């Protein structure tokens, strides 16, 4: 088998195609979860915590260059200027994204496993061995025969 035929056989197997579809859907799903966290959850968290904005929480590690023209309290402005910043607020946001995404994937896998269990056919009844059938037949014939 040539290498091209072998690769074609490998690439067209069900598992590889399923993985490709999963990666594409996962990428799109990740965008949705990012939007949920950024646009829906974080504003509520900010409201509950008194207007706290996680995305702008950082520790400045480097010096601001003299040519800096931006807000020195803005994480994005400092990053754009090349200032070393420790952005723990951005990490908190990404961590919340991950937790939500992991939980949703857990629910999806749980649902799929439930569907698979429902689709599995009931196990076939065990076949009685021939020797047991023969012994039963002998027992029944002894019960039916008159006793002497």
What is the pLDDT, as a whole number, of residue 14?
Answer: 64
pLDDT digits (tens, 9 = 90+) for 66-98: 888 888 888 888 888 888 999 898 888 888 878
pLDDT value for 148: 61
Q: Which of 53-57, 110-114, 118-122 has the lowest mean pLDDT?
A: 118-122
**More reliable by pLDDT, 130 or 119:** 130
Arithmetic mean of pLDDT, 57-64: 88
What CA–CA distance (Å, rounded) separates 60 from 78?
8
Distance CA(128)–CA(136), nearest Å, equals 11
Is 58 among the domain residues? yes
Q: Report yes or no on 145 lying in a domain.
A: no
Question: Range of 50's domain?
Answer: 3-140
Dihedral angle at the C-alpha atoms of 51, 52, 55, 61, nearest 10 degrees?
A: 130
Our count of domains for the chain comes to: 1
86 has which bridge partners? 59
| pLDDT confidence tier of residue 52, bands split at 50, 70 and 90 | confident
Give per-residue pLDDT as tens, 1-44.
688 888 777 777 767 777 788 888 888 888 888 888 788 887 88
pTM: 0.54
- Residue 60: exposure state from Cβ atoms within 10 A (0-12, 13-18, ≥19): middle
Query: 115 lies in a domain?
Result: yes
What pLDDT does residue 90 have? Answer: 84
Alpha-carbon torsion (47, 48, 51, 53), positive or negative: negative
In a domain? residue 147? no
Asked, for residue 146, whether it belongs to a domain, the answer is no
Q: Please return the burial class of 46, using the count of CB atoms within 10 Å of its CB with bins 0-12, 13-18 and 19+.
A: middle
Gyration radius from the chain CA atoms:
33
Q: What is the CATH number of the domain that holds 18?
A: 1.10.1200.120
Q: Is residue 148 part of a domain?
A: no
């Amino acid at each position: 088998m040539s290498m091209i035929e072998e690769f074609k056989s490998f690439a067209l197997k069900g598992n590889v195609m399923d993985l490709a579809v999963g990666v594409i859907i996962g990428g799109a799903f990740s965008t949705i979860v990012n939007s949920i966290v950024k646009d829906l959850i974080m504003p509520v968290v900010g409201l509950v915590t008194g207007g706290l904005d996680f995305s702008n929480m950082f520790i400045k590690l480097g010096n601001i260059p003299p040519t800096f023209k931006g807000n020195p309290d803005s994480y994005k402005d400092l990053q754009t200027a090349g200032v070393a910043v420790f952005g723990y607020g951005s990490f908190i946001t990404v961590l919340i994204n991950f937790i939500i995404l992991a939980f949703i994937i857990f629910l999806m896998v749980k649902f799929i496993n439930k569907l698979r269990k429902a689709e599995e056919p009931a196990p076939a009844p065990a076949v009685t061995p021939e020797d047991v059938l023969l012994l039963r037949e002998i027992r029944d014939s002894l019960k039916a025969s008159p006793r002497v």
